[in-house]
Structure 1
Amino acid sequence: MRVIAVVLFCHFLAAFTALGMPLFLPRMMVSLGGSESDYLIGLMFIVPTLCTAFSAPWWGRFADKYGKKTSLLRAQLGLGLGFLLSGFADSVPMFALGLMVQGVCGGTMAASNAYLSRFYQGKALASNLNLTQSSARLALVSAPIILGIFSQVDDPLTLYRVLALLPLIAFGICLFLPSDIAEPCAQSGAVAPKSASVSQIATTGFSQVLWLQFFFCFSMVVTFPYFLPYSEHLGVNSDALSGFYYSLPHLIYLLLSFNIKSLSMPAKLQSQIGFSLLCLACLGQFLLVNSLGLLIFRVLFGFGMLLVFNGLHLIVSHQIQQCDAGLTFGRFDAWGKWAGVAAGIGASSATQVSGLNFPFLLAALSCGCALVGLVLFYKEVEQNVDPIKE
């Protein structure tokens, strides 16, 4: 429990800045001489995501070879350096460089999950994956509201400089975590033909989970970059209140994620209901003309997110092999980041062509694709997962 508490706390420290600041990219662009409504917002939003998408599998292999704790420490230092570079930027290219370093050298979620996989397997691991998501949701609940209060300062980039201390503090704390020894996979010639067949089945099932991860992350992220101007368009007149509306689904996840492990509903049904709720919530926000119904649809969004996360975590936790846990979580994280890249491009294009509410329609369509995938492919994944016990 001490290890879990330390990992979760340190992940929160890193996520507070990484997940809280992008909401205020319009303010950052203005301070650097850009426009708060042009393509730069979407472009800057996808820079760290794109870099993480490329680097996450590589860092996963690094963790499997050199140890999960080493990779976790590396991620904390990388985030601190990236935040410092962004905080001292005096131009858009320098700011982008800091975001690139943040993306290439970060990845604390995958690193934290891989480290926890050294101590937990099966349903116990799935429960801890929900907890690492809880630390991220806590950051998304608190950071937009707290940072929104200070986003109107004369130089908002100062926030990056101050908040760079958080991942550096996390690095210092993580130094005292128990070390782990990298375990290589079966040596050459040691794997029987039957084992090779089982490995191929697991790989096939995991590729289907990756597509669900892609559609899920796309549906969440595509509404993120322009949520601040979207809420202002609906009549929300303060950054702090906009931050509250954005954070509300994550608050719901945070409040309920500790009890979701007791839910006996099959992973397939959880995911189907979750994606359906997300689809309905996004369609509702697409059709809104004022802020009166925003509260209801953000709550609905939160319940959908809770069910989908738990369903995916149950599936992933049963496909983890200790020798390549880093690569598995790296791939899982990378597909989420590729979805974020596509979402950033889609959000930027959609708002320029069709308006600030159109990203919610894209999110609803993504949820629909995930539902189709569950109907057509989940049985194969279920057959791969269910026989595997903790």
Structure 2
Amino acid sequence: MRQAVSVTVLGHFAAAFAALCMPPFYAHILQQNFSGQSLLMAGWYFTLPTLAAAIANPLWGKLADRIGIRASLIRAHWGLCLSFILTGLARTPWEFAAGLCLQGLLGGTFAASNAFLASFLQGKKLASLLSVMQGSARTALFAGPAIIGLFGAQENLLRIFLYLALLPGLAGVLLYFLPEPASTVPANKPESAASGNAVAGISAATLYRFQAVFTIGTVLTYPYFVIDLAERLHLSAGWAGALFGLPHVLFLLLAWPMNRHIQLQNAQTALARCSALTCAGLLMQGLAQGAGLLAAGRILMGIGMTGAYLAINALAAGTTRHSSAGRHFGNLEGANKWGAVFAGILASTLASTFNYTAPVWLACLLLAGLTIFIESKRL
């Protein structure tokens, strides 16, 4: 089982590294390879894989419960490998867009990896590993663009997709040759008890809604963060980039110690309070007139985001049914992706209608509403 867990986590890191390191360079790729393509379209290219994944993940999750979780995870890695190859071979903007769509349609390694882990782990162990998986993705989010950026001047970045295809391809091969891990979920245990719904206190459908709202509330602030700070606080792109990454660094630093204090029994309370902390951090950022208050807001937001994601992981583990783990994590990741898509649309609309800070205020309202809703249901 340790081998299976190690290969699953490392395989997801490889896939996440490959998928997350390239989006910041889409504008550069368009300029290098498709000179007639407007750089303003880079934002649309950024959305394509997310939208495709939002549609595909729940469908792949349902199929996983039929064909087997391990087979589905191998499929996700090899699907991502194929899509990277096709993207790297693109000769026109339309082929590039098609390759990005295929990354979302054929991938889904995060949901498939989580479902695979849920097939032989449960409860606190599963929740802890789900947090490790999120840490893996955030590490890839930082390391990937930094490493790829070193090749920007020497290499055609579009061709780097061909090299990146090796990572999920190799992960799929390793998983193929690993033996099927033995399930530790008691076979004679009733499905409702095994799912932990009584402990978690909420249904899976409610958790999906919580995930979507929290994602919208945080991702709303991403698209215009750098330009907002440049216009409102006159900060350089370098400082804005560092402040943007601060909450994600805090996740890597705080997830392990905080995870010990968030259990299934207190996960809803933790989600409500950490959503409130995230809201307070965003409020400070919206009101900030200098870098000091803004940095404090980012720190508070990082603490809140970390606790909220850990609580969602605990609730995800508590609402998992062994027989439908693929569908469960496919739907959960689908909710996350749809939240990101809607956040991008809302942010663009608000920024063009009002100003670059407007998405922050809507994010505050959504997270405050989520806190009030959870607390009202607990009373």
Q: Secondary structure at the match of 1:89?
A: coil
- Normalised TM-score (structure 2): 0.85
**1:339: which partner in 2?**
339
Quick one: which amino acid aligns to residue 16 of structure 2? A
Q: Deviations over 1:185-209 (max 9, x none)?
A: x9xxxx99x99xx999999722211
Q: Deviations over 1:267-312 (max 9, x none)?
A: 1231122111211222333344665544333322221111101111
Q: Deviations over 1:142-175 (max 9, x none)?
A: 2233334445667433443332322222222222
Q: Return the alpha-carbon distance in structure 1 between the equivalents of residues 302 and 290 of structure 2.
A: 20
**2:67: which partner in 1?**
66
CA contact (8 A) 2:197 2:319 kept: no
**1:177: which partner in 2?**
178
Q: Return the alpha-carbon distance in structure 1 between the equivalents of residues 171 and 225 of structure 2.
A: 29
Q: Deviations over 1:101-154 (max 9, x none)?
A: 001111111100000011111122111111111111111232233334445667
**2:254: which partner in 1?**
256
Q: 1:92 to 1:345 in 2, by over 3 A?
A: farther
Q: What is the percentage of aligned positions where both structures have the same residue?
A: 34
Quick one: which amino acid aligns to residue 369 of structure 2? C
Q: 1:244 to 1:21 in 2, by over 3 A?
A: farther
How many residue pairs align between the two structures?
Answer: 366
Q: Secondary structure at the match of 1:312?
A: helix
Q: How does 1:134-149 map to 2 (within 5 A)?
A: 134-149=135-150
Q: Return the alpha-carbon distance in structure 1 between the equivalents of residues 251 and 172 of structure 2.
A: 27
Q: 1:264 to 1:369 in 2, by over 3 A?
A: closer
Q: Secondary structure at the match of 1:268?
A: helix
**2:44: which partner in 1?**
43
Q: Does 1:166 align with 2:164?
A: no
**1:384: which partner in 2?**
none
Which stretch has the larger CA shift, 214-223 or 16-25? 16-25
Q: Return the alpha-carbon distance in structure 2 between the equivalents of residues 309 and 76 of structure 1.
A: 24
Q: 1:74 to 1:120 in 2, by over 3 A?
A: same
**1:57: which partner in 2?**
58
Task: Measure how far apart 1:335 and its partner are.
Answer: 0.8
Q: Return the alpha-carbon distance in structure 2 between the equivalents of residues 91 and 350 of structure 1.
A: 32
Quick one: which amino acid aligns to residue 99 of structure 2? G
Q: How does 1:119-134 map to 2 (within 5 A)?
A: 119-134=120-135
Q: Return the alpha-carbon distance in structure 1 between the equivalents of residues 152 and 228 of structure 2.
A: 17
CA contact (8 A) 1:141 1:248 kept: no
**2:295: which partner in 1?**
295
Q: How does 1:129-278 map to 2 (within 5 A)?
A: 129-151=130-152, 155-179=156-180, 205-230=203-228, 233=231, 235=234, 237=236, 243-263=241-261, 266-278=266-278
Which stretch has the larger CA shift, 288-297 or 348-357? 288-297
Query: 5+ unaligned residues in a row in structure 1: which ranges?
Result: 380-390
Quick one: which amino acid aligns to residue 95 of structure 1? F
CA contact (8 A) 1:144 1:243 kept: no
**2:24: which partner in 1?**
23
